[in-house]
Amino acid sequence: MNNPWLYETTLKGDLVTLAPLNREHADALLAAASDGELWNLWFTSVPSSNSIGAYLDQAFKDQSDGRALVFVVIDNATQKIIGSTRYCNADTLNQRVEIGYTWYAKSFQRTGINTECKYLLLTHAFETLDAIAVEFRTHWHNHASRAAIARLGAKQDGILRNHQKNAEGVYRDTVVFSIIDQEWPCVKKNMEYQISRYS
């Protein structure tokens, strides 16, 4: 990897393990995405049988360029892949990174999985990578994602109007949130409290 700041690693929690993505995970990712037919969610990017090749190609390109570090989410109880998440848009010089491209099989949503995943990623970012800020970005119309990000303790920085064009040529407004390093101890304490409620 060109960027020494991001390096392949495995992050393990009580509920889930985040392991580096590889091409052999394609079928398991499609099986997870089929739980709820998540590719039909027009405001997010989840692979289907038609797009899995391009999805993996882009993920590995971003990773080899040093802009991303891509994980599969593994349910510890069953050892099944139930989704994916990643660090992305990494800015090594300014020690900033985004957590994004996150999705989970429908049956694992609203279970505490997302909170633990974000806890693992944020802990690694702030306490190992010494990030000064971690961003989250989501579609204006993805209300569930916006609410979940706010529950983590992230603050809304603003809205990027007409930020990106999708495959159909429709522009999206992107809502930007962040947590900065000085806020992390308090956010961490709150997340640990939330996680304890699922134990």
Q: What is the pLDDT of residue 40?
A: 46
Which of 124, 130, 30, 122 is CA-nearest to residue 72? 30
Residue 36 is predicted with a pLDDT of 55
- At 44 the pLDDT is 59
pTM value is 0.90
What integer pLDDT is reported at residue 27 of this predicted model? Answer: 93
Give residue 70's pLDDT: 97
- Closest to 81 in 3D by CA, of 170, 9, 168, 17: 17
Q: For residues 134 and 99, is the Cβ–Cβ distance under 8 A?
A: yes
Euclidean distance between CA atoms 154 and 98, whole angstroms:
12
Q: What angle do CA 116, 154, 10 make, to 5 degrees?
A: 35
pLDDT at position 38? 54
Distance between CA 29 and CA 39 in Å, rounded? 11
Q: What whole-number distance in Å separates Cα of residue 89 and Cα of residue 92?
A: 10
Question: What is the pLDDT at residue 109?
Answer: 74
In the prediction, which pLDDT does 199 show?
Answer: 63
Report the alpha-carbon distance of residue 115 to residue 164 in Å, rounded: 27
Q: In the chain, which residues have pLDDT < 50? A: 1-3, 40, 42-43
